[in-house]
A and B are shown apart, each in its own frame.
Chain A
Amino acid sequence: MVYHYKTLLLVCSVVGLSSNYSYAFQTPINVIPSTSSLMVSVNAERSDAAEDFISAMANDAISFLGDESLSDADKQKRFTKLLTQSFDMNTIGRFALGRYWRISSAEQRKEYQNLFRSMIVDVYSRRFGEYNGQNLEIRGSRFDNEKDVTVNSFIVPQDGGQEIQVDWRVRKKNGSYKVIDVMVEGVSMALTQRSDFSSVIQRGGGEVSVLLAHLREQ
């Protein structure tokens, strides 16, 4: 038994020692082009306009989130503004309510959309509040249909951790782009929200009011 622990300790000390070498390996990383960028160049149907839209949005967010002269309240205000400008809240909200949209009254719909909007703002400001210098690299895009484009991006951590794939689904409406869904590692935020909401309503006896009560609490 003692032997096993010794082996483990050995492994651990090797891990500890070798971490010093990691810096030696960081220099060549940017020199060699990644295959992903090669793959993307094969895809002829990229949408530069949609990519620029996401890139501008991300740069805007990063510039004021990293600005230390701004107070948290100011950041929150600017973030809310950016989010409501760039996200198509009505579409996302309506999608998230799924088939229950049809059975809800006009007042319920109105209240739901307001609550949904503030919930999204809360969720995303919490997520971006944890932002600490990661890069968002846009690596391509593809057309889903004539209106919708999926922009592929990656969050690249500074500390050498695993990259996170973030796909932005954007829709062109009245000449400007709006985000209609964010997919993280293949998981759609809108679909996850819809599953959440429909389960709450189902377990609440099919009443939309039960969901509204929960949203009011949040």
Chain B
Amino acid sequence: MFVMIDKFTKCMRISVLLTGLCLALTLSGCASTQDHSVMGDDVIISDPFEDTNRAVFAFNQAVDDAVINPVIKGYRFVIPKEIRNSLGNFLRNLSSPVIFANEVLQGDLEGAGTVVLRAFINTFAGFGGLFDFAGKHGMPHEGEDFGQTLASWGLDHGPYLVVPILGPSSARDSVGYIVDSFADPLRWYLFNIDQEALYFARTGAQYLTLRDELMDVLEDLRNSSIDYYASTRSIYYQRREALVNDENPDDAVSVSIPDYDE
């Protein structure tokens, strides 16, 4: 029992520390009077730490080239696509409690119901979540996270942040990521039964599948853009907006493209 409490307080201390750090970043972003955020008619995302972000971005690119992409290529070579898909489905199914909580916090009870139904169907008919059986039958996976929940409560991104190894984020979404990780019941469970290694294995596998899914997209983007950093930042912002507005696609950022001939 004492071990549990000790662990709990330790986790809390770390999370408070991290949240504090992120809040400090957010606040310093607000306090900064320099305006790097508005790019003419492209209101994208405020980037007051652009120089630092670009440095971290370059570091991440070096890590991608030296380690991550070779690892993904090896992974693809060794593991057939069907199994990689199944691993992705399995991990998505494991995230159901967190997704469910966020649907509820966003007031989307229908979405919350879908999550429960999806988890039920995929766990039983999809062999413990290895197959996205529900997704094939009109109940596609929706990745809700606490960053989106904060957005649905009206919170803005705050400054854009490039996190080492993890990549593009914002103050809001970083806080969301930390809250999701610490609120995850699976994490509590695995830590309580002294199976931390399994938790970290899961986190590692999540990262692996994410990078596997993203590798071609990122390579394409890198080849097709001049300023890869700027393109990534724009895509991050647009993609997050699309996810936040997934319930009402009509509210999503749909840029108006003028008719120049008129």
Contact = CB atoms under 8 A, between A and B. Distances in A.
Interface of A: 1, 4, 7-8, 14-16, 18-19, 21-22, 25, 29, 32-36, 38, 90-92, 94-95, 98-99, 119, 122-123, 126-127, 130, 142, 144, 147-148, 150, 159-163, 169, 171, 173, 180-181, 185-188, 190-200, 202-203, 211, 214-215, 218
Contact of A15 (B87, B223, B230, B250): B87
- Per DSSP, chain A at the interface is helix
A48 B90 CA distance: 39
B162 interface: no
B234 A25 contact: no
Contact of A169 (B201, B249, B257, B261): B257
A21 B80 CA distance: 14
A126 B253 CA distance: 27
A99 B249 CA distance: 27
B207 interface: no
B82 to A, nearest CB: 5
B242 A199 contact: no
Given A91-B257, A191-B255, A19 B138 contact: no
B241 interface: yes
Given A91-B260, A198-B230, 11 more contacts: A18-B127, A19-B130, A21-B127, A91-B257, A160-B81, A160-B82, A185-B239, A186-B243, A187-B239, A190-B255, A193-B225
Contacts of A22: 82, 86, 131
B19 to A, nearest CB: 28
B252 interface: yes
Given A7-B198, A187-B239, A191-B234, A199 B87 contact: no
A25 B41 contact: no
B181 interface: no
A195 B231 contact: yes
A142 B243 CA distance: 19
A95 B258 contact: yes
Interface in B225-250: 225-227, 229-231, 233-235, 238-239, 241-243, 249-250
